[in-house]
Structure 1
Amino acid sequence: MRTPPAPSDRSRHRVLVVEDDDTIGRHLESGLRGNGYAPTWSRTGTAALSEAARSRYDVLLLDLGLPDMDGLDVARTVRAHHPDLLIVILTARTDDIDVIAGLDAGADDYLVKPFSLTVLLARLRAHLRRRVVETPPREPVQLADLVLDVTARRCTFHDEDIELRPKEFDLLAVLALNAGAAVSRETLMAEVWDENWFGSTKTLDVTMAGLRRRLTEAAGGSARLPRITTLRGHGYRLEL
């Protein structure tokens, strides 16, 4: 039986790998290509920024410890120019503050080194699968002075835009569409990340902390902002 030809690069998800370690870089490049992706490997932040400006990519796999610049600066720059790009940080840093910094810089997810290729591929499939699902238009949701337009992916307070990261917006959307009801952690992980998610739910905690911080900053002490209540042992509730 003839082996079917591999899909062309035009039909593959294009992945920009930014990693200065030769062993990890080669492993990622060969593993991604062998699983149907079209990877391009950059060893420095400068080279990655040039590549991202020159070509269109679907995914950015980004090491933070680069030889010429901080990976967080790469994430911020790329995110500013490519708001729909999936950014996954690959890091040896495990402290909450480092994870928060990565997500605040625009990353959608993170993996702590050492990680397995199997886990990385599962994460990519989950993220990319959710991005291609089309949903019908929804009417904007108004809660006090906060307005959430899910279709336009726009959040405003007193008609001023609140800049939210993609997962922060998705998290707020699930809570807003279920305002007043308790939403479990399992439901949030399934709705915002993936129903088959098997990683740490620490991602939810970090994203929730970021969402609360951005809403508080936007409100400036105003009481006309819905409050997100933590339900210990269960999940969260967006108060009416």
Structure 2
Amino acid sequence: MEGMKAMGTYSVSIEMQKLRRAGVLNTLFFAGIAGAIYAVLNWLVRKDYLLSADVDPMTALLTQLYGVISLLNVFAIIVSTSNIYSIEHKNNGLRKMHTLPIKSGSVFLQKLIILVGALALTYVIEFASLAILGGSYLPSGTFALGEVLQFAFYVFLIIMPCLVFMLIISMISPNMWITVGIGIVGFFSGMSMVGMDNRISYLNPFVLLLKPAMELTSGMNIVIISIAIIETIVLILLGIFIANKKTEE
């Protein structure tokens, strides 16, 4: 039991080192910094317009600034996931890993957990800037920290299907540029479908994460949350299955 535990700890530490060398963690961290800077600059330039808009000040703060922040996060995910399996694909690293007492499905999960943690830090940085802006500039009595936290949790949850999907593509494709290309195509498909009044379009992971930027409310959409959770679970199970299947090949 202790040996298995040690192996699990060792493999996680190895994954952390590989992702750091591949620039994955730095990419997501700097995406958070860039998103926070964008939010501040955008607000300083447009605050008079946003505060005079026919929407609640909190809604204007969250939904209007979220749009470009979400784009930065999507591209950070595309870049990060395109690199995340690059070390394994080089020099037949994946085949060599199959000789170790570690299941490929476990490696997939470890990478995903590290990615989720790094992306969570990205969101903390970005939404901390929104909270500071709201507390400093919104009219008295209109700022609600709880609403910021709820919206942050909401948009973090609905980007998960995109994150897992791109990780699967990276695992399957030995060419990182194919992963990047699929991510960009997925993003533009999301942009073209996000305005559709058709829930079938929600099956596209890139549509879900763009929806809040199109809404006139910062409230959580239960339908979108439910679909995001189901998609995330299905994609994780699919990723584990594919990873273990590749081990048998």
Q: Same fold, TM exceeding 0.5?
A: no
Is the strand fraction higher in 1 or 2? 1
Is the helix fraction higher in 1 or 2? 2
| Higher RCO (CA 8 Å, separation ≥ 6 residues) | 2
